[in-house]
Chain A
């Protein structure tokens, strides 16, 4: 399922000087931006707990995944960043193995980058004497890891499509899933389509679409609730599996050879 060479060389790719500089700046920038206002206003009491949720959120893992993982998947265009996939797939390497190896390496990378940010954030918080207001629990760590694996699978799926098609498709569908329900509100409720109020249908379709593309997981909900809530967990696992399956199907369909570029 996992190819050691692909897995290890996905990490090695980060060792390029430009990527290292980008990584260092990114790791330093966000915690510094968050802590600086607190340092400027020492008397103001602030609840720091939501910041942890911010670091572990799918939005953050998606941003990191796009910044540091995306160009190493299925990229044949850029000579500097890309891989020679025609050569790679002439080797005994299943395309599914390539996808799973990239996903695992990418997810670990995302966890590591956000983990470094959190460590730096904790150091800064302690330096300004507010360490007591902040604690990171077990569930936060699990949330970070799960969201990293979920969103990296999404990024892998997007980049399994040729060129920028995946990114454009994802952006369009994501926008549509939020914008369409708002737009149908503008249509008078007397407007029927074959006798059916299609506004509800559109809203339901958009909700399903949004749930497919954005399925955050919060372990606090499961651990704190008395009754077990299965649906979000099932949705998260099935979405992640579906992203990877689609990525494998797309990669298997594609022909990586210079005669058809």
Chain B
């Protein structure tokens, strides 16, 4: 059976900055399929934005290549289908909002006859009132500028969207709007590459995420329901503190990864029903449970703690298992 070639193909991509030879990206290999919503996550300075710059053809790779739909990122037919929401909404401050959107409508080679209609539609899509269209860009708040960034992407009607921290500086309503737009674009079959710290919203719409750290892709994960719902269950107990073997036996019986401290344990659960079972079994073994709660972590944290994603995370847990919990 023939498989469809990757829509975005990144091969051996490296980016080195300046005379000090700072490796922002180090031998990145990545494939993104058509219609996929792909997340880039990782700590600050990991290289996520640089990778996006290379995918957009705005930064030149030091080595390696980026192909979109089999063509170079510098090909105008690729730019024709591309939209970009920058992290820094430093748009041309002297322009009026409507003019700015009209300008980008023209730059995106959209038909002039539909300009007015498309601009009004884009403003409505991002929740900006028509009156805002008459205002100068320099008079807009940070949240409004962020919405304007989304609007300029929408007027270009792209098939491939790059979003760099689209929820940065937005209020909760704005964040919900971004999520709704992502859901809509996913339904419309657009390919979306998103770089965001607010992954609690974004993770629900991403098909896959790449965890980037130190300019390298540490892992790429499909956001299966298991990973999306993976949570940390914290159980605190009183005196007498349970011995390691008791907790270990219960956890291993339920195939649960755990981390044991003197007065509490942290358990990595794939579903909440396992948490109930775990509690019941611990109490059956005379563990004096005082408190139990879910500690919701963002995707970055889960990636760091997931043994398949981060060997170091496993090492920490193994160290705990080997009796260091008495420290």
Binding site for B on A (CB under 8 A): 3-6, 8-9, 12-13, 16, 79-84, 86-94, 255-260
Closest A residue by C-beta to B152 = A87
Whether B2 is near chain A, meaning CB under 8 Å from some CB there, is no
**Contact count A vs B, C-beta below 8 Å:** 82
Q: Which of B24, B83, B91, B103 contacts A5 (CB 8 A)?
A: B103
Whether B218 is near chain A, meaning CB under 8 Å from some CB there, is no
Can you list 9 A-B contacts with CB-CB less than 8 angstroms, sorted by A residue number? A4-B106, A79-B90, A79-B138, A87-B84, A87-B91, A91-B107, A256-B58, A258-B86, A258-B88
Known pairs A91-B108, A258-B49, A259-B59 / 11 extra A-B pairs, C-beta < 8 Å: A5-B107, A9-B99, A16-B94, A80-B93, A86-B84, A90-B56, A90-B162, A92-B109, A93-B79, A93-B107, A256-B58
Binding site for A on B (CB under 8 A): 17, 24, 49-50, 53, 56-60, 76-77, 79-80, 82-84, 86-88, 90-95, 99, 103-104, 106-109, 138, 152, 156, 162
A203 to chain B, nearest CB (A): 37
- When A80-B138, A258-B87, A259-B53 are in contact, do A88 and B58 touch as well, CB less than 8 Å? no
B14 to chain A, nearest CB (A): 14
Contacts of A5 in B (CB 8 A): 103, 106-107
What is the bound-complex CA distance between A79 and B137, given in angstroms?
10
What is the bound-complex CA distance between A92 and B56, given in angstroms?
11
Closest A residue by C-beta to B77 = A92
Contacts of B107 in A (CB 8 A): 3, 5-6, 88, 91-93
Closest A residue by C-beta to B75 = A92
Contacts of B60 in A (CB 8 A): 255
Contacts of B94 in A (CB 8 A): 13, 16, 80-81
Contacts of B82 in A (CB 8 A): 90
Closest A residue by C-beta to B49 = A259
